[in-house]
Amino acid sequence: MRARRFLLALCIPALVGCSHLETYGGPAAGVVGTRALLNSLDLWSTTYLSNGLIAYAIYDPLQPTWSIEASVTGEDRVQMDLQMKRLVTGGEGEARQVFMRTARKLVEEGGYAGFDVLRFEEGVEATRPFARRTANGEIRLVKSRQVPTL
């Protein structure tokens, strides 16, 4: 009697699992197949792992795409120089967005009412072995015109 209950307890989850095989079979097969492929290609050897770590260190996906240097050029003027990292997987057209976002941040932190863009330029710096996108611009920080004390 106990053996039947035990056998039934083992069979029911297997049968229920088979009814859901259509939805979960693909990902499970993909994981098992990928693992078998990696084992057959011997990608877990120290050579492949060290090369992967070197590539990761050079690419550095956690590094921000743009580096920004801001310098004060006058009482109410700020110049910003932006440089894109050399190895990227997108973000080539976002220089203006980054520039404007940084300008808004400077306005909010400084307690100004707004800013005027005086100059903005984009370009490509042809360095070896990889070219690098650059942008620079200058803004004028504006105090409140209606309430000059702000």
Least confident of 35-44, 74-83, 86-95, 120-129: 35-44
Same domain, 128 and 78: yes
Residue 27 lies in a domain: yes
Q: What residues make up the domain containing 118? A: 66-142
- pTM summary value: 0.61
**Which has more pLDDT, 135 or 22?**
135
Same domain, 70 and 138: yes
Number of helical (H) and strand (E) elements in the chain, helices listed first: 4, 4
pLDDT tens digits along 15-25:
666 555 555 55
Which helix (H) or strand (E) segment holds residue 67: the answer is: strand 66-72
Q: Are strands 114-125 and 132-142 parallel, antiparallel or unpaired?
A: antiparallel
Q: By percentage, how much of the chain surpasses pLDDT 70?
A: 77
Same domain, 89 and 21: no
Same domain, 90 and 135: yes
Locate 117 and state its tokens.
Answer: 């863009």
Same domain, 77 and 113: yes
Say how many domains are in the chain: 2
**Which has more pLDDT, 58 or 6?**
58
Residue 105 lies in a domain: yes
Q: How far apart are CA 81 and CA 137, in angstroms?
A: 7
DSSP H stretches of helix in 42-133? 46-59, 95-110
